[in-house]
Amino acid sequence: MKMGWGMKSSDLLATVTEAIGTDHLCDRCKHRNCEAALGDVTAHRKLFDADAAMRKAGITSKKCDCFLFLTGIPSQDLLFVPIELKSGKATVGGVVEQIQSSLDFVAARCSRVARNDWHKTKFVPMLVYRSSSSTRQFVQFRQHSVKFLGRESIVHLVKSGDARGLASKLPDDFRREDMS
């Protein structure tokens, strides 16, 4: 059954994996004592070590920690979630720069292999934080956006250790069925 971009769900994720590199696949998004919980996110996903992938490509600019790609159920749309992990203080400018650099890398890398329908990819940039930064600092994130394929989004904030936090920020068809 053809879906999404006219491809099967497994083909979409295989195309992304080819673009980013199988040697950068990982099973956890964790740095120091900060981790993005993926339990309530659909099983149709690929997680990559973004830092390693970008470093191997010769990119020395700031970068986020992980790339998460998901296909929706039942939509079969593709969703890209760049994830930045912060166990200490997070500055708005620094996080926005890291995520934007990562969005630019993925847009360039994946558009070469995905071709026609890459522009349909949805995205939800995330900051997973552990620190107890001030509420005022978090409000500042709502005033800054990042761009991907001509569209803008704010950086969504999720507390480390919140089992449903990451999934709660995603569209319904990218969560496990029992969470909707």
Chain-centroid distance of CA 24 in Å reads 14
Q: Does residue 87 have a pLDDT over 90?
A: no
What is the mean predicted confidence (pLDDT) over 63-92?
Answer: 88
Averaged pLDDT score across all residues of the chain: 83
Task: Kindly report which listed range (14-23, 74-83, 90-99) carries the lowest average pLDDT score.
Answer: 74-83
Cα–Cα distance measured from residue 100 to residue 16, given in angstroms and rounded to the nearest whole number: 19
- Give the DSSP H or E segment for 79: strand 78-86
Confidence at residue 116, expressed as pLDDT on a 0 to 100 scale: 58
If pLDDT is split at 50, 70 and 90, which confidence band does 180 have? very low
80's tokens: 């890209």
If pLDDT is split at 50, 70 and 90, which confidence band does 3 have? very low
Domain boundaries, the chain: 9-179
Write phi, then psi, for 123 (nearest 5 degrees): -150, 150
pTM beyond 0.85, yes or no:
yes
If pLDDT is split at 50, 70 and 90, which confidence band does 24 have? very high
Catalogue the E-assigned strands of 56-180: 66-71, 78-86, 122-123, 126-129, 145-148, 151-154, 156-159
Tens digit of each residue's pLDDT (9 = 90 or more) over 123-172: 999 999 887 665 567 778 878 899 998 899 999 988 887 777 788 888 88
Confidence at residue 125, expressed as pLDDT on a 0 to 100 scale: 95
